[in-house]
Structure 1
Amino acid sequence: MRIVLAEDSVLLREGLVRLLDEAGHTVVAAVEHADAIVPAVLEHRPDVAILDVRMPPTFTDDGLRAAVRAREAVPGLAVLVLSQYVEESYARDLLADGRGGVGYLLKDRVQDLDALADAVVRVAEGGTVLDPDVVAQLLVPRRVTDPLGSLTAREREVLALMAEGRSNTAIAQRLVVSDGAVEKHVGNLLMKLDLTPSTEDHRRVLAVLAWLDGTRT
């Protein structure tokens, strides 16, 4: 994969370049300022952009806003956002366009080369990757008006694993059930969330968005 990397920490940036190189990818540009992300993406047209959330100039959500602009400027661009914190608003904003090809990974995870490499490939292929720790953080008591209230316990488990970006086969292996059973659970939960077949919407992403809304207190 050809990658544009945006990270203001010199040590982490150089470390990521090395890890990505070891995984067989090529970092075509490594920038340290959020304002440099979109120009780098336009110039190099990478397969994936990997970027921090809190970057100069304000160190708030500059990286995230640049990621949204980059996806608008280069349709189909896969984006993997790194964060030091579990903040569900960032995950939801990334998923908001419903197109897939996005990920939210905690920075602690980048020490695991296999996890990082797997996330890069999955978002490049159009998948959605949420860090397991983010998913765990979001599993809190639901509101009275929980839109997911009609889901069974097993369907909630399947949806939580979908939020991690796992395929039906991976979910089946995790839950020790058949692929057919997972397909049935996915079909049922999509129906219960009123996500009818559509050629325009990424239904799995929309289901994850509904789940994120349902986990807000």
Structure 2
Amino acid sequence: MVFHRNCLFRDCLSNFLSSLADYEAVSIDHGTTDKVDQFLRDPNDLILLDLNLPDSLAVEIVRAVKERQDNTKVIVLVPDEHDQLVECIAAGVHGCVLERSPLNDLQAAIQDVLAGQTYCSTDIVATMFAELARFASKTAEQPVESKGCRLTVREQEVLDLLSKRKSNKQIASELSVSLFTVKNHVHNLLEKLNVDNRVEAVEMARQQNRLSARSVSKTT
């Protein structure tokens, strides 16, 4: 399965892999949420995943695969300008391949990962160490009491909708994102607010004046 923003890239890659005797590849448009949810529910041997999918979709797909606890492997395709590499690695990705790598490198990565090994393009190693150093430095400089307290714009939107007692499915529909994206944002909210469930998250948000004025007025 190939998830990528660029239709031409993913279709060409799928056709190339399908032309090989050992593979049957499927190209998936990340924007069609129904198809994404369906294919993530079904078992797959391998997912080739664009690291820079919008709304942190790459990270949440890796998490969803890991939670499923089956034999599906995930290789992220890494552009030169990228985000969330460390997060994907922490979530349990099995391989990292630069998009500008030759096809032989991708074939080697697929073979290694399907054999139970991990794979990382050599150029990514230096980048990964630099990002880990930056992440560690940022964490060390952040005061303990303020860790994880800043919400992204999308997380704030999800929090406001939670305060209106919207379900994950309703939130996904209202924000035009996948169900997995919503689950990922809710997971991050619970961690950042240091609570155990959605009800506690909303209550904590009220106590900290984190809800938008419109959400407060509609729920009071």
Give the TM-score, by structure 2 length. 0.50
Aligned residues: 132
Percent identity between matched residues is 20
Stretches of structure 1 lacking an aligned partner (at least 5 in a row): 146-217
Code of the residue aligned with 2:29 in structure 1: it is E
How far is 1:97 from its partner?
5.7
The residue aligned with 1:125 is: 115
The residue aligned with 2:9 is: 12
Residues 1:116 and 2:113 are matched in the alignment? no
Flag the structure with larger Rg.
2
The residue aligned with 2:52 is: 54
SS in 1 for 2:97: strand
Superposition pairs for residues 145-184 of structure 1, below 5 Å? Answer: none
How far is 1:66 from its partner?
1.6
The residue aligned with 1:67 is: 62
Contact 1:86 1:134 in 2 (8 A): no
Contact 1:52 1:81 in 2 (8 A): yes
SS in 2 for 1:70: helix
How far is 1:9 from its partner?
1.1
SS in 2 for 1:26: coil
Contact 1:82 1:107 in 2 (8 A): yes
Distance 1:106 1:61 in 2: 19
How much is the aligned-residue C-alpha RMSD, in angstroms? Answer: 3.0
Contact 2:51 2:82 in 1 (8 A): no
Stretches of structure 2 lacking an aligned partner (at least 5 in a row): 137-220
The residue aligned with 1:30 is: 27
More helix as a share of residues: 2
Distance 2:128 2:68 in 1: 31
SS in 1 for 2:112: helix
Change (3 A) 1:88 1:131: farther
Distance 2:58 2:113 in 1: 17
